[in-house]
Amino acid sequence: MNFLITGAAGFLGSALANQLAREGHVVRALDDLSSGNEEILYEDVHFTRGDVNDRPKLWTLLQDVDCVYHLAARVRVAESLLYPREYNDVNVGGTVSLMEAMRDVGVRRVVFASSGAVYGDKQEQPLTEEALTLPRSPYAVSKLAAEYYVRTIGSLWGIETVSLRIFNAYGPGQQLPPSHPPVVPNWLRQAVGGGSLVVHGDGKQTRDFVYVDDVVRALTAAATAPNVDRSVINVGGGNEIRLRDLAQMMLDLVGSDADVIYTPRNDPGVSRMCADISLAKKSLAFEPRTSLEDGLKRTLEDPRFSRVKA
């Protein structure tokens, strides 16, 4: 098949692009490199640097494409609080531009990478796709709005659409930006280097972590799965873990006696988050294969953590 992946130089995008290339597909990759790295893409991935709002460029890249994976987005929740307009421009405006370009060229299917963040704070767990969405950040709002645009434009113009609400993805190669880094690589770096693990709140809030390879399998399945048009599907590990327990698991794996510091004045985010993955099992034959402990061990094999230890 012929694929276009937007946001292809990011964490999930690059893992997906490289997997599709290994399977022998033709993969076109688009990324503006604002946070991605094209050097991690295989040589047979056809990379183009560009903006997802550049419609003429999209028209060119979409020629003869069977399916689009739309992963291009700004993804830092804390940053979105400060720059909601920019998040709207990229995450919502970029999605609309892509859908219009797909309509113009005649591409038949898109798989959109949404987020479990759209659900907001819910006491009833696990979260099903029918749960009321109450997004708490501009990032979450932008993902939910993009879902509606994907589904609505798709229904108007005969484009098959699948939105995957991905929960807390992690694994080797996940970016570590200087501000607001993802919790798994940040805490592993601190544990290996003997630094302190900072937990916002009391650490009793839960999250559902899903290993990158499992996310990629869900994404690849969504490109050809039957009877999923207009679907919204959770992709997670299907289990929740308290953040204080995650911190201790990391310290035990590393053999570290680093301190865990709790900062109750900072917003800890939603109190619980766990994905109901029944629909993913039914529609995508999706079953997480990597436990959290095994996934953390594989993530520790990332050379960056060896350098920290040295």
**Any idea which residues carry the catalytic annotation?**
139
Instruction: Report the 10 Å Cβ neighbour count for 123.
Output: 6
CA 170 to each of CA 28, 78, 165, 182, 205: distance values in angstroms, whole numbers, following the listed order: 24, 18, 15, 8, 18
Q: Which two tokens stand for residue 127?
A: 């979260």
From CA 118, how far away is CA 135, in angstroms rounded?
5
DSSP calls for 101-163: HHHHHT--EEEEEEEGGGG-S-SS-SBPTTSPP---SHHHHHHHHHHHHHHHHHHHHT-EEEE
- 309's enclosing H/E stretch is helix 303-309
Surface-to-core class of residue 128, CB atoms within 10 Å of its CB (0-12 exposed, 13-18 middle, 19+ buried):
middle
Residue pair 215/166 in contact (Cβ under 8 Å)? The answer is yes
